[in-house]
Amino acid sequence: MRLVPCIAAVFALVVSSCVSADVIVLKNGNRIVGMNATADGDRVTYQTSAGQLSIPKAIVARIEHDDFSFSSADGAGIAPPVSAPQIEPATGYEAIAQKTIHDGGVDYAYIESLESEARTGAPGATNKVAAACYAAAQFFLAKGDSASAIQQYRQGLEFAPHNFGLLMNLAVLYLRESQFTEALNPLQQAREIAPDSADVYKLMGWAYYGADKTAEAIDAWKQAIKLRPDPDVIEALKKAERDQALESSYREGETAHFDLKYYGGAAPELARGILGALENDYNDLQSQLDYTPPEQIAVILYTGQAFADITRAPSWVGALNDGRIRIPVEGLTSVTPELARELKHELTHSFVGQKTHYRAPTWLQEGMAQWMEGRRSSSDAAYLVDAAGRGALPSLAALDGSWIGFTGDNASVAYAWSLAVIESIIARGGLGDINRLLDAMASAPSPQVAVLQALNMSYDELQQQAVDYLNHAYLNN
């Protein structure tokens, strides 16, 4: 039984969904970047654009999962182009942190006493303020309150404007919130303090790339590699250079919320039509998801060959979203109903990715994208209920992470099941519940905890709710 009408679309969606970059650190110090690295027997396997590769476990020191994933198998929806470096807090941090955070809260009186001390010009006092504000920011981040964390970093910087750790951590926070232009301010200050820091240039590249300034991103990442070779940055640089190689021949179109690039061969009417459709979709998603992406979203239209060259995606891939929405439009002259659905689907991934700080599990990403494009479970309900009865449906936990290794059939079921789960949440609690869930995903330690916090349900209960919903809504049971 085919649950999704177009098998090519299935694979396209699979590729679009989940990219979780891991770093495999070898005992000789070399680092390999791959996706979904897992230890399996005496081998470590990982995905690359060239397919699955494996190396002997004996030569591996450790696997570092990027800090946007919850665990080895977790995809991160739309992943950032590079991972965030760990920035050490100020010296003497532990003692100050203990005085700043205690009894489940921030001791503002203590922070104020440090600030008063700093105002007298006491030596070392500004560093104490920096450490206390850093500790308070960590406290708020753990609660998922990014706005208060940003406030703490900024307050610390008022007293210690040259504190590298505060500047870098503030920049990382802005980047996670997709506030790319905002992130450039602290990064430029950090560069003045530490002109030889590879981490500063790594993050600058991320900021420029996110702001759709490819040439500046390439310059920054080249500088980062010159200062310290980093496979993570090398990968990002290659991708940016592939983008740039064809950008010179692209024409551009811009609206309030989108920056569209398209190959000269595409019809300008098509580009205008796509921008118009995307603007409508944007307004719709903005009100439904109660979220406004802070920056313009980059969209690139390709001829078939250019799409294959740049994305290095297999030939059966349709559109994809890796932070930029990339759509092959070969042979199209207007926005067909199918293209319209694809645009809404991919734009939903951008909204869900940014709103959850790239932490949405794949079932949530794909369930939401299908729901927003207008797909419903009617034709799949009987199959899903029957499969649930036979214990043949995948658990949601198995759909948290990457779907890249799924067969076409498994992917079809994964899409249909994810949509049913989303439908059941909306049927019970409306988009209010969805938005609570998306907000919880941004900060909870795992997707299961987020579901518990937002919906007061375990994964098992959510799965049962979805089956009950299918029975009631479509099968008169």
Output 281 or 366, the one with its CB closest to Zn ion.
366
CB contact set of 247 (below 8 Å; sequence gap of 6+): 214, 261
Out of 4, 13, 15, 319, the residue judged to bind Zn ion by CB under 5 A? 13
Stretch that binds Zn ion, among 16-24, 30-38, 114-122, 387-395 (CB under 5 A): 16-24
Stretch that binds Zn ion, among 15-23, 61-69, 229-237, 295-303 (CB under 5 A): 15-23
CB contact set of 413 (below 8 Å; sequence gap of 6+): 3, 384, 387, 393, 394
Q: How far does CA 263 lie from the centroid of its chain?
A: 27
What is the smallest separation between the CB atom of 339 and Zn ion, expressed in angstroms?
A: 15
Output 212 or 366, the one with its CB closest to Zn ion.
366
Out of 9, 16, 186, 201, the residue judged to bind Zn ion by CB under 5 A? 16
Asked if 369 interacts with Zn ion (CB under 5 A), we say yes
Q: Sign of dihedral through CA atoms 139, 142, 143, 148? A: positive
Output 168 or 347, the one with its CB closest to Zn ion.
347
Stretch that binds Zn ion, among 7-15, 209-217, 275-283, 417-425 (CB under 5 A): 7-15
Size of the site for Zn ion (CB under 5 A): 4
What is the smallest separation between the CB atom of 195 and Zn ion, expressed in angstroms?
A: 41
Asked if 69 interacts with Zn ion (CB under 5 A), we say no
Stretch that binds Zn ion, among 6-14, 97-105, 171-179, 329-337 (CB under 5 A): 6-14
What is the smallest separation between the CB atom of 13 and Zn ion, expressed in angstroms?
A: 4
R_g of the chain, CA atoms, integer Å: 23
Which residues between 417 and 436 bind Zn ion (CB under 5 A)?
none
CB contact set of 434 (below 8 Å; sequence gap of 6+): 289, 368, 422, 425, 426
What is the smallest separation between the CB atom of 302 and Zn ion, expressed in angstroms?
A: 18
Phi, psi (5° rounding) for residue 444?
A: -70, 150
Q: What whole-number distance in Å separates Cα of residue 48 and Cα of residue 272?
A: 35
Structural contact between residues 232 and 21, judged by C-beta atoms closer than 8 angstroms: yes
Closest CA to 65 of 303, 329, 359: 359
Output 296 or 370, the one with its CB closest to Zn ion.
370
Output 15 or 87, the one with its CB closest to Zn ion.
15
- The pair of structure tokens assigned to 75 is 């995809």
CB contact set of 75 (below 8 Å; sequence gap of 6+): 17, 18, 19, 20, 36, 69, 361, 362, 400, 401, 402, 403
DSSP alpha helix (H) spans, 289-399: 304-311, 337-355, 362-373, 381-389
Asked if 402 interacts with Zn ion (CB under 5 A), we say no
Stretch that binds Zn ion, among 10-18, 134-142, 301-309, 406-414 (CB under 5 A): 10-18
CB contact set of 335 (below 8 Å; sequence gap of 6+): 270, 273, 274, 276, 277, 343
Stretch that binds Zn ion, among 87-95, 352-360, 362-370, 414-422 (CB under 5 A): 362-370
Output 80 or 205, the one with its CB closest to Zn ion.
80
Tell me the residue nearest to Zn ion as measured from the CB. 13
Output 13 or 101, the one with its CB closest to Zn ion.
13
Output 191 or 359, the one with its CB closest to Zn ion.
359
What is the smallest separation between the CB atom of 327 and Zn ion, expressed in angstroms?
A: 13
Output 156 or 318, the one with its CB closest to Zn ion.
318
Stretch that binds Zn ion, among 8-16, 208-216, 396-404, 441-449 (CB under 5 A): 8-16
CB-hemisphere CA count at 13 Å for 408?
Answer: 14
**Quick one: DSSP state of residue 34?**
E
Output 366 or 380, the one with its CB closest to Zn ion.
366
Binding site for Zn ion (CB under 5 A): 13, 16, 366, 369
